[in-house]
Structure 1
């Protein structure tokens, strides 16, 4: 009789252990989020100076005074609430400067979304002004579908959209609404 009770207890304990083993799951990310609101940044950084390199060559340099880190989100990003300055270097190390009042970098896509008073000044003194500009870091490509003003050596071109590589060798104002020719 005691063998039967011992056998039943052993079976019950085995069933409980197997059930516990298969019911366990990896919830490390959920544990990390305890105490952190989904709407709050996981960190705040000050006086940022980020350098992006490709094969040992600096391709971009991003500078900002304050960054909010939302890497705890499902689609992580960094928010630059106090403005940003972005220097883009081409293969000949020519520097173009982009300044904006606000920016977001999306970690998974390497896309920078710059907004409010965006001004680009190229190494050869071309100037683009718009309210929003995207920079694709992987493709080294700039674009927007917002109204733009693009000043070259001889013209000021206004339009609705802009598309260019980071060298501005094929810069194109889309939906041109006006061209002003400058005189020397």
Structure 2
């Protein structure tokens, strides 16, 4: 069987066209996957520092090394993939601090999801530690459904595995399940 130059050329052209068609199809499907599976932020910020004031009084400050703004999504949010330091002040200007390795602020619900080594330290020395805490800004309520440890200068007060709810000043507390608790009692001189 003798192949002519014409047949060889047709074979090469056909092979190239088929290869190009399949490689274009493959790239197109990859591009489609990107557009459906990736969210792109409307903005990004490094070394972010925000101050929230009300009637000329500082209510809170937020610091983060990196922020992504996804306010362009159907359910808008702000992501802090490198963590936050949040300071908030009460009526007497007493400062409490929350830190976490990661955080998301959901704009519509005003719920903040704090994750990774979350530590809440109140101005009077109470410390709440948890892998994850939620902060409802409108109700000024903090909660978790996971484990937690609450301590102060006297030691561990409460430890649990199934969550705790409380107001931001830790004066109203609902611990769901406690496996260890210590309540210090102050002795009075007689």
TM-score normalised over the length of structure 2: 0.71
Number of residue pairs aligned between Structure 1 and Structure 2: 149
Q: Is the 8 A contact 1:155 1:179 kept in 2?
A: no
Whole-Å Cα distance in 1 between the matches of residues 98 and 126 of structure 2?
12
Q: What's the CA shift string for 1:4-23, capped at 9, x where partnerless?
A: xxxxxxxxxxxxxxxxxxxx
1:148 aligned onto 2:143: no
Q: Is the 8 A contact 1:127 1:151 kept in 2?
A: yes
Whole-Å Cα distance in 2 between the matches of residues 60 and 175 of structure 1?
31
| Aligned-residue offset at 1:173 | 3.0
1:71 aligned onto 2:74: no
Q: How does 1:154-169 map to 2 (within 5 A)?
A: 154-156=154-156, 157-159=158-160, 160-169=162-171
Kindly report the root-mean-square deviation, in angstroms, between the aligned alpha carbons of the 2 structures.
2.2
Q: What's the CA shift string for 1:45-77, capped at 9, x where partnerless?
A: 111111223333322211101001111100000
Q: What's the CA shift string for 1:64-100, capped at 9, x where partnerless?
A: 0100111110000010001111112111111111110
The aligned counterpart of 2:177 is 175
Whole-Å Cα distance in 1 between the matches of residues 105 and 48 of structure 2?
13
SS of the equivalent of 2:144 reads strand
SS of the equivalent of 2:39 reads coil
TM-score normalised over the length of structure 1: 0.73
SS of the equivalent of 1:53 reads strand
Ranges in structure 2 where 5+ consecutive residues have no aligned partner:
1-33, 186-190
Ranges in structure 1 where 5+ consecutive residues have no aligned partner:
1-35
Q: Is the 8 A contact 1:88 1:166 kept in 2?
A: no
Whole-Å Cα distance in 2 between the matches of residues 50 and 171 of structure 1?
29
Q: How does 1:1-184 map to 2 (within 5 A)?
A: 37=35, 39-156=39-156, 157-159=158-160, 160-180=162-182
